[in-house]
Chains A and B, each alone.
Chain A
Amino acid sequence: MLKTILTVDDNEKVHDVLEPMLEIWLEDNDLEMTIVKLCNGAEALAWVKENGKPDLVLLDVRMPVMDGAEFLRQVAMLGYDFRPFTLLLTGYADDLEQHLGTDALLMKHLRKPFMTPEFFAALDNLNAARKP
C-alpha cells in the first residue's frame, strides 16, 4: 500500500524546502511515501474526501480559504482523527492557541523557520508514535 504524506501550506517556498527535506528523511529511514503538495485546508479536505486517510500530515495553521484548524475540524466531522500523525507548522507565535485552543500545544508542532535536525526529530517522533 502506497504511503502518503500530505503537505498543506499556502507558501510555495515552504513546499520547496519541505520536499527535499522529506525526501532525505524518507531515504534515511528507508521509507517510501508519496508526497502530496496542497495549498490550503479546502484542497486537503477534498483530497481526504477522495483518498481517505493519509499516513502523515504536515499542516500549516494559517492559510487562506481554509486554515489548518478548520481542516482538522472538518476531518473530524468526517469521522477521522488526524491529530496523532499531524505535524503542525506555524509561523506565528500565537497561531496554535488562537486557532486550535490550548490543547493544540499537546499536538506535535514545529515553528517556522526550522532546520533539518528538528524537522527530522519531529518526523521521527511522529512516525514512532504512529507505528504501534
Chain B
Amino acid sequence: MAVSHSNIKTTLSGMLNQLSPMQLFGGLAIIGIITFSFYNMSRDLAVGLEGDLRTAFDQQNLTVVDIASSRVGFHIDNDVAENVRLLGQFPGMQRQEMRNASRDMEKVNTIAAPRVDGFVLFDANGDLFTVYPESMRFPYKGNQSESPFFKTSKETGALYFSDWIHDGDSLKMRVANAIYKKIILDEDKQSPDGKLSGVIMAQIDFDRTIASELGRLKSSGIMHWIIDEKSGEVLYHSVLPRNAPDNVVESIKSKLAKDLLKAFPSTVLEPGIHRAKLGGTGFSIASARSKVGPHKITVNLAYDDSAVAGLVYEKTNRIYMLGIAFLVVVLIGAVVTLRQMAKRQSLIGEKDHLARELALEEEKKKLSEQVSQLQKMESLGELAAGTAHELNNALTAPMGMLSILKTKPDLDSDKRAHFLNQAISGMEQARAIVEGLLRFSRSELNEKQLDDVNEDIRFVLNMYKKELEHADITLVQDLQEELPSVLAAHRQIQQVVLNLVTNAKYILDKGGILEVSSKSERRNGVDGIIIKVKDNGPGMNEEIQQRIFEPFYSTKAVGEGTGLGLSICYGIVQDHGGLMNVVSAPGQGATFSIWIPSGDKA
C-alpha cells in the first residue's frame, strides 16, 4: 500500500513537475472561475427556482381553493336538488294539495312538489341556512297553530325524513322551536306577490358537505375556512369548532387558527394570495370566491411557507450536488488530461533520452572501432619493425651472395654453388616472412576461420623474437602439438598475443623470462584451447588485477600507453566466446590466460 501510495505521490508530483508555473496558475484560475461561475449560476437558479416554485405553489393552491369553492357551491346546490328530488318522490307529498290557505306546516309540505317555488334550508343545528328565493323567508305569515308541528329532534335537532309523520292525509314534520320561529320570522313581511304555490323545506348538512369537499385541501395546507362575505362570519373552519366555548383549552393548532384569522383587518379576503408572518414563520393564504345559493362565500386555504422553502432547499441541494458531481468530473478530466500530458512529456523526454543514449552508444562504438583500429595499427607498427628487421636479415644473404657472384664472376663452381644455395635459402626465409605477413593481412578482415592458434603464436613470436632478444629477455615457448583447431579471427588472436607479449616486454627488465604456452583444455564441458603468457616481472596487486581490463586503465607513464590494449584484448576474447583472466601477486610475476572454445563445437 505504502509503495503504491508513494507511487501515486510521485506520479502526481511528476505530473506537476511537468507543468510550468504559468500552466499551473492558469489551470487553478480556470478551476476557480468555473467554481465561482457555477456557484453564481446555481445560486441564481436556486433563487429563480424558489420564485418559480412559490408561484407554482401559490397557483396550485389558488386553483385548489377555486375548484373547492365552486364545488362547495355545486355540492350544496346538488344537495338541495337531491332533497327536492326526494321530496318530489314522496308520494304523500304529491297528494297533499293545499286545500286552504292556512299556514299549517302540513300545507307547507303539501306544496312541495311538483310546483316548486322555492326552498327553505336548514343546517344541521336546525338553523336556517338559506331560503330561495329571498321571498321564501316569509312564506308562513299568519300561522295560527298553537301546537308545534315539528317535534324537536332528540339528539342534535337534525331533521330526517323519518321525522315527517303522517297525520290523516296530511304529512307533518316536527322542527325545533327555534326553526319554527325562524321560519315564522317577520310576520308582517309579505311575499312579493302574495302567492305561495309550493315550498320545500329541506335540511342539508353544511359542515359535512364542505368537509368532504375541502378535505383534500388538508393535504396541501394546514387549515381552511369559509367566510360569509356579507356578514364576515366564519361559516366553516377545519380547525376551529363552530360556536366553540371560550373556555376550551386551546391547542397550538387552534391558537394558530385564531391568530391567522386575526392577522388581517377583515375576515373577508380578496381572491388571491395573502401573506402573513406569525412568530417568525411565514404563512400564505389562498382565497377564492364562490356562491352557495344566494350567499357569497370566500374559501381560504392557509399553508406554511416553509413547505416551499423546504422544497426549494431540496431542489437547490440537488442542483448543488449536480454541480459538485460536475466539478468532480471536470477535476477528474483535468487530472486525466494532466496525467496524459505528463505521460506524453515524459515519453518525449524518454525518447530524447533514448535518442541521446543511442547516439552516445553509436559514438562509443565508433570510437571503440577507431581505437581498435589504432591498436591494430600500433601492433602492426610493432610487427612491421620486427618484420622489416627479419626481412632485412633474410635478404642480407641473397644480396651479399649475389653481389659477390657479380663482382667475381669467375669463382670456381663449388663456391658459386655454395653462394647460390645460401642466397636461395635466404630468399626462402624472406618468402616465409612474406607468407606470414600475408596471413596477417588476410585475417585482417576479422573473418573467423578454423585454424591452429599455434600458428598465430609462432608468427607473433617470430616477428617479436629479435625485440625480446635485444631486450635481453629469455623467451620460453611451450606449444602443445596437435592443438585442436579454433574458429577464430586469427588476426585478432595474433593481436591479443602480441599485446600480451609487448606488455610483458615492457614490464620485464633485462634477464627476464617470458613463457608462452598453449594446450587444449576443457572448461565446463566445452573443448577449447588455453594460451598462457607468463612473465616473472614485478607482478601486480589485487586492485590492479581487478581493474586491468578496464578501458583507459593504465599503469604505464602518461603518453606511453592508451590503457586500451588489454580492454580490447578482453573484448576480442569475449567476442570469441572465450575467457581472459590474470593471476598475479606483487613480486611473483603475472600470468595472463586466454581460453577459447575450439572450433568443432557440439
Contact = CB atoms under 8 A, between A and B. Distances in A.
Interface of A: 10-11, 13-14, 16-18, 20-21, 24, 62-65, 67, 91-93, 111-117, 119-120
Contact of A13 (B385, B393, B415, B469): B393
Interface in B388-419: 388-389, 392-404, 406-408, 415, 419
A76 to B, nearest CB: 21
Contact of B400 (A62, A91, A93, A116): A116
A119 B399 CA distance: 11
Given A116-B400, A117-B403, A64 B470 contact: yes
A114 B400 contact: yes
B404 A116 contact: yes
Contacts of B406: 115-116
Contact of A64 (B422, B426, B469): B469
A70 B97 CA distance: 183
Contacts of A11: 393, 396
Nearest to B402: A115
Contact of A17 (B392, B396, B469): B396
B75 interface: no
Nearest to B425: A13
Contacts of A20: 400-401, 404, 415, 419
B466 interface: yes
6 contacts: A16-B422, A62-B389, A62-B470, A112-B392, A112-B395, A115-B406
Nearest to A62: B470
B470 A112 contact: no
Contacts of A116: 400, 403-404, 406-407
Given A64-B472, A113-B392, A13 B404 contact: no
Given A13-B396, A112-B393, A115-B399, A24 B407 contact: yes
What bracket does the count of chain B residues touching chain A fall in? Answer: 20 to 34
A23 B406 CA distance: 15
B404 A21 contact: yes
A102 B279 CA distance: 128
Contacts of B470: 62-64, 67
A82 B223 CA distance: 151
B469 A114 contact: no
A117 B402 CA distance: 11
Contacts of A62: 389, 466, 470
A17 B392 CA distance: 13
Contacts of B466: 62
Contacts, number: 78
Given A112-B393, A114-B400, A65 B426 contact: no
Nearest to A27: B408
Name B's interface SS: helix
Contact of B401 (A17, A63, A91, A112): A17
B311 to A, nearest CB: 112
A62 B404 CA distance: 25
B519 to A, nearest CB: 28
A118 B400 CA distance: 10
B316 to A, nearest CB: 104
A11 B402 CA distance: 19
A115 B404 CA distance: 8
Given A16-B422, A64-B472, A115 B393 contact: no
B469 A10 contact: yes
Contacts of A113: 392, 395-400
Interface in B416-447: 419, 422, 426
Contacts of A92: 385, 388-389
A92 B395 CA distance: 13
B416 to A, nearest CB: 11
In this complex, the member of B397, B415, B426 whose beta carbon has the largest number of chain A beta carbons within 10 angstroms is B397
A114 B400 CA distance: 6
B393 A14 contact: yes
A24 to B, nearest CB: 6
A10 B389 CA distance: 13
A20 B419 CA distance: 9
A14 B400 CA distance: 9
What are the 9 closest A-B residue pairs judged by CB atoms, nearest first? A17-B400, A115-B403, A64-B469, A116-B403, A113-B399, A113-B396, A91-B392, A113-B395, A116-B407
Contact of B472 (A13, A21, A24, A65): A65
A113 B385 CA distance: 15
A59 to B, nearest CB: 14
Contacts of B403: 115-117, 119
A24 B408 contact: yes
B432 to A, nearest CB: 13
Nearest to B398: A113
In this complex, the member of A63, A111, A115 whose beta carbon has the largest number of chain B beta carbons within 10 angstroms is A115
B6 to A, nearest CB: 68
A24 B404 contact: yes
Nearest to B474: A64
A71 B410 CA distance: 39
B130 to A, nearest CB: 152
A36 B363 CA distance: 61
Given A92-B385, A92-B389, A113-B392, A16 B404 contact: no
A10 B396 CA distance: 13
Contacts of B396: 11, 13-14, 17, 91, 112-114
Nearest to A94: B385
Contacts of A114: 396, 399-400
B388 to A, nearest CB: 8
A64 B471 CA distance: 7
Given A20-B400, A113-B396, A114-B399, 16 more contacts: A14-B397, A17-B396, A17-B401, A17-B422, A21-B400, A24-B404, A24-B407, A91-B389, A92-B388, A113-B395, A114-B400, A115-B399, A116-B403, A117-B403, A117-B407, A119-B400
Interface in B356-409: 385, 388-389, 392-404, 406-408
Contacts of B400: 17-18, 20-21, 113-116, 119
Nearest to A120: B407
A20 B398 CA distance: 13
Nearest to A64: B469
Contacts of A91: 388-389, 392-393, 396
A65 B426 CA distance: 25
Contacts of A115: 399-400, 402-403, 406
Contacts of B415: 20
A92 B407 CA distance: 26
A27 B87 CA distance: 190
A113 B472 CA distance: 24
In this complex, the member of B388, B393, B402, B469 whose beta carbon has the largest number of chain A beta carbons within 10 angstroms is B393
